[in-house]
Amino acid sequence: MTTLFLDRDGVLNERIIDGYVTKPGDFKIIDGVLDAMAIFARRFDKIFIVTNQQGIGKGLMTAEDLEQIHRFFLNEVNQAGGRVDKIYFCPALKSANSFMRKPSIGMALQARREFEGVSLRHSIMVGDTATDMLFGRRAGMCTVLVGEEKEVASSHPHLVDYYYKDLYTFAKNIEPAIKTICQK
């Protein structure tokens, strides 16, 4: 079973620098993401989003606010022919050192427990930060860096298997990553 893990902010939606997406109106889907999600739906057995959401821990939003944001996004994905099997999030503050917070692998292990057949060795983690890449590497996944943070690839080459400018470009050029996980 091939599985895709996706970070949220900076991969699926525009990251708010020094801020948080706290309501659906703040959630700006990056160009090409909905097309990419439709491609992924045909290519992967399971698709998960794994996201740190310390805005909840800081009291800037509630879990219900986050659920509204995710409902908005999932509706857009479904209308475009894509799917997400589950969204995992960690509301803990970075200072809490929660095992569920990336780069720790708690969310990956939870997905593996909850969905029969998920093999982390046969999974791809897509993110836009070194934290995402470390999460993927620690879990034994193939890692794909997307976005403008190219220096993550050059400063942490041991963490990044592939780099693409955005999620849609990765979706259109997915075969090398698929071959990597199939060879594990």
Cα torsion through 113, 161, 176, 150, rounded to 10: 120
Q: Which long-range contacts (CB under 8 A, 24 or more apart) does 61-65 make?
A: 61/20, 61/22, 61/23, 63/91, 65/22, 65/23
Catalytic positions, please? 7, 9
Q: Which two tokens stand for residue 147?
A: 């976005």
Give pTM, 2 decimals.
Answer: 0.95
- How distant is the alpha carbon of residue 45 from its chain centre? 16
pLDDT tens-digit profile of 44-83? 999 999 999 999 999 999 999 999 999 999 999 999 999 9
137: confidence class by pLDDT, cuts 50, 70, 90:
very high
Domains of the chain are 3-182 (3.40.50.1000)
111: confidence class by pLDDT, cuts 50, 70, 90:
very high
DSSP, residue by residue, 126-139: EESSHHHHHHHHHT
